[in-house]
Structure 1
Amino acid sequence: MQPYEIFVGLRYTRAKRRNHFISFISVISMAGIALGVAALIVVLSVMNGFQKELRARILGVVSHVQISGPDHVLRQWREVEQRVLQHPGVRAAAPYVLGQGMLTHQGRVQGVVVRGIDPAAEIQVADVGRHMRAGSLEALQPGEFGIVLGIDLARLLGVFPGDKVVLVVPQGMVTPAGVLPRLKQFTVMGVFEVGMYEYDSGFALVHLADAQALFRLGEAVSGVRLKLDDLFAAPRMARELSAALPGDLYVSDWTRQHSNFFRAVEIEKRVMFIILTLIVAVAAFNIVSTLVMVVTDKRADIAILRTMGASPGSITGIFMVQGSLIGVIGTLLGVVGGVLLAWNVDVVVPFIESLFGIQFLAKDVYQISELPSELQSRDVFTIAGVSLALSLLATLYPSFRASRVNPAEALRYE
């Protein structure tokens, strides 16, 4: 593109118009693009924040990689633990026992998932210790039969630290009267809250030795939980460990265990991107009507330029510059506004809530009561690129139409 084409295109953009309606349509197109780009950036940033918050809460209980034995019984777990710790990328390992049961207290009964842990090793592979509302994991001592409950589970049972609960497990005892379920009294040593109802309402932690005795595992465990240097490398590490360990061991990672959560968020992000891109597309294609009217308004100028030797390609370039400038300015305004808003969602949303007396995320309904936001540069560049591409695409037809203006016909009545 020649410099004079850019100069003329910019001059047409700055020049005062005889038809003020054209200027109005240009401003509306620019504002629409800016609004669509800003909305896309803010929405995707909030969804990224939700995904990060969800991942953090899940990993508060779930390890990066989990290795379990056949029928959830792993007898040579110490050898497996030492073997995986030698693998590069594995930061820590902890044994666990997993079982199911029912907790009872003063006539109230709740089904629970019971996990036996070694408190010293557990804090190295999961973040439950950081989410304790009362007590601590270190209060779980072997032989004392202490238990730590999720906060919603404790509320459902109506218990507090120091209260006694009875755990009923399906591994029964054979008696002359038949098979009777095994019962054991535990003392509530603490309460945790990770912010996921699935865990807060149906999860209980006991000491590893107590769980081994309760579920009659002897020295065996259900498996080994691992923490990696890079949590996003979990799928690859799981495949490598699965190939390196005996074939009867099952290796899974956190993305596979909760794939539905993250798949749903990813699908929602894609759908919202498509829907909000349509806003940008509608605004961008307003450029078509703007340039069509500009071409009609500038027919005499186009004819003069053609008679002075300007090629059809040069005329096309002039109006592409003019139309693209609308898209560039609108995109820049949208990017600046969207980035600023995404960075200050935690300030803007409370202000709107206090101003109108509403609450977007009620604490008694949603697990996350504040809108999280994580701005990713990849999203910003993608959105800006799509917006500029749509704006450029919208200039093609009017610019091509301008290049087809016949100078003789345009100047006949001038």
Structure 2
Amino acid sequence: MILSRYERMIAKRYLLPGKGEGFIFLVAGISLVAVMLGVAALIIVMSVMNGFRAELFDKIVGLNGHAVVQGYGGRLPDWQSVLKQARATQGVTHATPMIEQPLGAIYQGRFEFALVRGMTVDDIRSSPTLTKNVKGGTLADLKPDSGNVAIGSRLAENLGIQVGDTITIFNPAGRTTPFGTVPRQIAYRVAAIVEIGVYDYDKAFVIMPIQDAQTLLLLGDVVNMIEVQTVNADKVGQILEPLAAKVAGRAVITDWRQMNASLFEALAVERVAMFVVLSIIVLVAVFNILSSLIMLVRAKTRDIAILRTMGASRVGLVKIFMTVGVTIGALGTAAGMVLGFTFLFFRQGMVNAIQFVTGQNLWDPSVRFLSELPSKSDPIEVTVICVMALLFSFLATLYPAFKAANTDPVQVLRYE
């Protein structure tokens, strides 16, 4: 929208407070602040929701792969042939055997639930999810028959364990004796403590070489499952269709969406709901722009009539008032972007500060899965939010602008 020199001058004059126009300027300022808060809230919430999904996906998939080929009854006796078939499947980048079994952990008389995971030594040392989150000790000490394990940070806290302490793993399915089944208890040295960042894993994980897990669970040369990574996580079902046909009757394939369906579906629904609810804030702010422009038109009725008698066109008046409203919306949108990204940059510090002042735990990992507030901004979503705010601001200017343009100077100036 191209403005002439006088149109720019008048639009600028109407944006600044004049004598006796403090209330109109106050309403316009409130409108700007409302747009700013609405845009900032949308950017913050959508970025945090995206961060939740990305962090959960990276950590969960980093530990469990894109899919697992799991044997019936939790046992996969011919896992070598299944492993060979998985690696030969087109689109599969990595496949490895794995054991996972819920057991118990004991330390100095204290008992906690433990999720024992047996992995190959190469996988333990090459997994970024593990190697980048070691809080104490070293994963290099995890070798077959070494008696060393790595445990989650929350499990270590709950049991009061430090690196070098001995933890006892309790397996209720022990050996059968004439007097009944004797639970199996084996002591292991804690060689490393890891903090993956997902509470459910950190509070239970006990990671050991797969050979040690087979010995603990009396499995022999048997594993529970084959972990599979593919070239595209979103197309994992399509990629593994040929493998599913080959292992039918021996095993079942479960991908990451099925393993965490309720969690990711809840995030998707909440994400849409939050976007709709917070968009209403922007809509309310736009109505403030509408009301401020209507008051401005009523206050400037005499000025508008004079401009019309001096030769100002209807189109010129429409452009002036549209420029005023869109400028308020644009400034509010720009300020909202700055506020939103500033909050996201200092998000964890702000959460910690609020917790310190209020004395309340606002970020309980046991409830929110992750140990820190995540964030991941999507440029497309930010663009959509800004365009939406500007579009609403533009639509709000139409009625006041055409109302001003249709002002009859004869009726206004008749008694002047």
Superposition TM-score tier, normalisation by shorter sequence: 0.7 to 0.9
Q: 2:237 — aligned with what? A: 238
- Distance in 1, matches of 2:370 and 2:143, equals 33
Q: 2:227 — aligned with what? A: 225
Alignment of structure 1 residues 339-378 onto 2, 5 Å: 339-345=341-347, 371-378=373-380
- Distance in 1, matches of 2:304 and 2:39, equals 33
Spell out, residue by residue over 1:339-385, the C-alpha distance to the aligned partner (whole angstroms, 9 max, x if none). Answer: 3443344666677888x696875789887665444333223212211
Determine helix, strand or coil for the equivalent of 1:110.
Answer: strand
Alignment of structure 1 residues 32-51 onto 2, 5 Å: 32-51=34-53
Measure how far apart 1:390 and its partner are. 1.7
Determine helix, strand or coil for the equivalent of 1:375.
Answer: coil
Measure how far apart 1:158 and its partner are. 4.7
Q: 2:255 — aligned with what? A: 253
- Distance in 2, matches of 1:12 and 1:325, equals 10
CA contact (8 A) 2:63 2:129 kept: yes
- Distance in 2, matches of 1:186 and 1:208, equals 16
Determine helix, strand or coil for the equivalent of 1:127.
Answer: helix
Among 284, 287, 312, the alignment partner of 2:286 is 284
CA contact (8 A) 1:32 1:280 kept: yes
Say which is worse superposed, 375-384 or 59-68, in terms of deviation: 59-68
Q: 2:141 — aligned with what? A: 139
Determine helix, strand or coil for the equivalent of 1:61.
Answer: helix
The amino acid across from 1:244 in the alignment is L
Q: 2:98 — aligned with what? A: 96
Q: 1:183 — aligned with what? A: 184
Measure how far apart 1:313 and its partner are. 5.6
Structure 2 vs 1, CA of residues 310 and 243 (structure 1 numbering), >3 Å: closer, same or farther?
A: farther
Structure 2 vs 1, CA of residues 84 and 300 (structure 1 numbering), >3 Å: closer, same or farther?
A: same
CA contact (8 A) 2:86 2:243 kept: no
Alignment of structure 1 residues 20-35 onto 2, 5 Å: 20=21, 21-35=23-37
TM norm structure 1: 0.81
Measure how far apart 1:391 and its partner are. 0.9
Report % sequence identity. Answer: 34
- Which structure 1 residue ranges, 5 or more long, are not aligned? none
Say which is worse superposed, 386-395 or 87-96, in terms of deviation: 87-96
1:405 aligns with 2:407: yes
The amino acid across from 1:225 in the alignment is E
CA contact (8 A) 2:67 2:227 kept: yes
1:324 aligns with 2:326: yes
- Distance in 1, matches of 2:56 and 2:85, equals 31
Q: 2:295 — aligned with what? A: 293
Say which is worse superposed, 51-60 or 365-374, in terms of deviation: 365-374
TM norm structure 2: 0.81
Aligned positions, number: 408
Structure 2 vs 1, CA of residues 157 and 115 (structure 1 numbering), >3 Å: closer, same or farther?
A: same
Structure 2 vs 1, CA of residues 105 and 19 (structure 1 numbering), >3 Å: closer, same or farther?
A: closer
Structure 2 vs 1, CA of residues 126 and 87 (structure 1 numbering), >3 Å: closer, same or farther?
A: farther
CA contact (8 A) 1:316 1:399 kept: yes
Measure how far apart 1:26 and its partner are. 2.0
Structure 2 vs 1, CA of residues 344 and 168 (structure 1 numbering), >3 Å: closer, same or farther?
A: closer
Spell out, residue by residue over 1:132-159, the C-alpha distance to the aligned partner (whole angstroms, 9 max, x if none). Answer: 3344444333345543332333444455
Structure 2 vs 1, CA of residues 343 and 146 (structure 1 numbering), >3 Å: closer, same or farther?
A: closer
